[in-house]
Amino acid sequence: MQLKLGPQVPSSGVAENFLGVDWVEALDLGAVTVLTGADRGKYPHGNSLLVQGTHQNVLIDPSLTVAERGLSFPVDHALLSHVHEDHLPGLSRLPGVPVHCHEADAIGLTSLDGLMTMYGMPADMEKEFRQEILDDFYYAPQLEFSTFSDSEVFDLGGVEIEVVHTPGHTRGHCVFVIPQARTAYLGDIELSGFGPYYFDEWSSLDEFEKSIERCRSLDADHFVTFHHKWVISGREQFLAMLGDFANVIVNRELSMLEFLGEPRSLDECAAHRFVYRPHVEMKFVDHVELRSARLHLDRMVGDSRVTQMPDGKFRSR
Ligand SMILES: [Zn+2]
């Protein structure tokens, strides 16, 4: 697919030798440049990726750091790995630049209400988060944007971006592969010790696991995460980290099974904490633990590892 310039976008006039990227802590990987976020991309910041072809420059996941620092070089298109508050604040610095996301996440770009349906928070938490998204992440509905689907290829002139649909974190989460730079951009498949985040209304535990499996076949030498790990160079290292990342889910479930050696209620499972450590105090922890406990219990009841007793409590078989 050829990316077309929006009519309102001034042509960047980018030539073969455009390399004028002025960014503190940029990492040059050839056709791609990692625009390292503040704190190495620690939330609420993140690491954006600039992809430069002979005809087009594409910015993937314009971070909060992009919003705060601005850009000194032209961007023709913005691509989003998924629609979450921290992956789009930099769009505020790209007025008129065409935005693209996977079709399954499109609702998050249309309105704040649409975005909130993707999180599915309890009302009191949602109220506060709405304001944060507006004030701290510069959210504005996109009046015009385009969607893409799995396996689509964007041709930037001598450099391509391939879409790999990897749902689980959100329904439309995607990884991008840039073959000419031997680079894969992993978005929120962040390879952290915390493990996969599948606790939104639009998340899916099973889909996340399938997506991790799919990532094993990514053909690249450099792997960029939006948060946490930043850049992993070397396939072996990546595969080892991907394995550890997937194992966090397995270990959460094994710990729950052990805990369910005695009958426990859903609330008791949530209170025991299988996601966050006991000392972590954040306002959304209880919500995440409850959703996680419910997801894993549903799955383990479904495949008969756990049984639900007449009093509503759960117990491992
Ligand atoms: Zn996310």
DSSP conformation letters of 125-179: HHHHHHHHHHHHS-----SS-EEE-TT-EEE-SS-EEEEEE-TTSSTT-EEEEEG
Q: Rounded to the nearest whole angstrom, what is the distance from the C-alpha of residue 82 to the centroid of ligand 1? A: 7
Q: Rounded to the nearest whole angstrom, what is the distance from the C-alpha of residue 90 to the centroid of ligand 1? A: 15
Q: Rounded to the nearest whole angstrom, what is the distance from the C-alpha of residue 46 to the centroid of ligand 1? A: 10
The C-alpha atoms of residue 72 and residue 20 are separated, in whole angstroms, by 8
Residue 228: per-residue pLDDT = 85
Q: Rounded to the nearest whole angstrom, what is the distance from the C-alpha of residue 309 to the centroid of ligand 1? A: 36
| 294 phi, psi to nearest 5 deg | -65, -45
| Model pLDDT for residues 90-104, shown as the tens digit of each residue | 999 999 999 999 999
Q: Rounded to the nearest whole angstrom, what is the distance from the C-alpha of residue 158 to the centroid of ligand 1? A: 30
Amino acid identity at 218: L
The C-alpha atoms of residue 49 and residue 59 are separated, in whole angstroms, by 6
Residue 24: per-residue pLDDT = 82
In the chain, what percentage of residues exceed pLDDT 90? 88
Q: Rounded to the nearest whole angstrom, what is the distance from the C-alpha of residue 84 to the centroid of ligand 1? A: 5
Q: Rounded to the nearest whole angstrom, what is the distance from the C-alpha of residue 203 to the centroid of ligand 1? A: 10
Question: How many residues are there in the chain?
Answer: 317
Q: Rounded to the nearest whole angstrom, what is the distance from the C-alpha of residue 1 to the centroid of ligand 1? A: 26
Residue 3: per-residue pLDDT = 61
| Section 271-287 average pLDDT | 91
| Section 4-17 average pLDDT | 37
Is the pLDDT at 16 greater than 60? The verdict is no
The C-alpha atoms of residue 1 and residue 110 are separated, in whole angstroms, by 24
Around ion ligand 1, which residues have CB less than 5 A away?
A: 84, 188
DSSP conformation letters of 12-67: ----TT------TTEEE-SSEEEEPPGGGG-TT---EEEEE-SS-EEEES--HHHH
Averaged pLDDT of the chain: 92
Q: Rounded to the nearest whole angstrom, what is the distance from the C-alpha of residue 147 to the centroid of ligand 1? A: 18
| Section 24-33 average pLDDT | 92
Q: Rounded to the nearest whole angstrom, what is the distance from the C-alpha of residue 107 to the centroid of ligand 1? A: 15
Q: Rounded to the nearest whole angstrom, what is the distance from the C-alpha of residue 5 to the centroid of ligand 1? A: 27
Is the pLDDT at 17 greater than 80? The verdict is no
Q: Rounded to the nearest whole angstrom, what is the distance from the C-alpha of residue 61 to the centroid of ligand 1? A: 11
Q: Rounded to the nearest whole angstrom, what is the distance from the C-alpha of residue 171 to the centroid of ligand 1? A: 11
Q: Rounded to the nearest whole angstrom, what is the distance from the C-alpha of residue 98 to the centroid of ligand 1? A: 21
Residues 6+ apart with CB under 8 A from 227: 41, 42, 43, 46, 47, 188, 190, 192
Is the pLDDT at 7 greater than 60? The verdict is no
In the chain, what percentage of residues exceed pLDDT 70? 94
Is the pLDDT at 161 greater than 50? The verdict is yes
Q: Rounded to the nearest whole angstrom, what is the distance from the C-alpha of residue 106 to the centroid of ligand 1? A: 14
Q: Rounded to the nearest whole angstrom, what is the distance from the C-alpha of residue 188 to the centroid of ligand 1? A: 5
Domains of the chain and CATH, by start = 26-247 (3.60.15.10), 260-316 (no CATH)
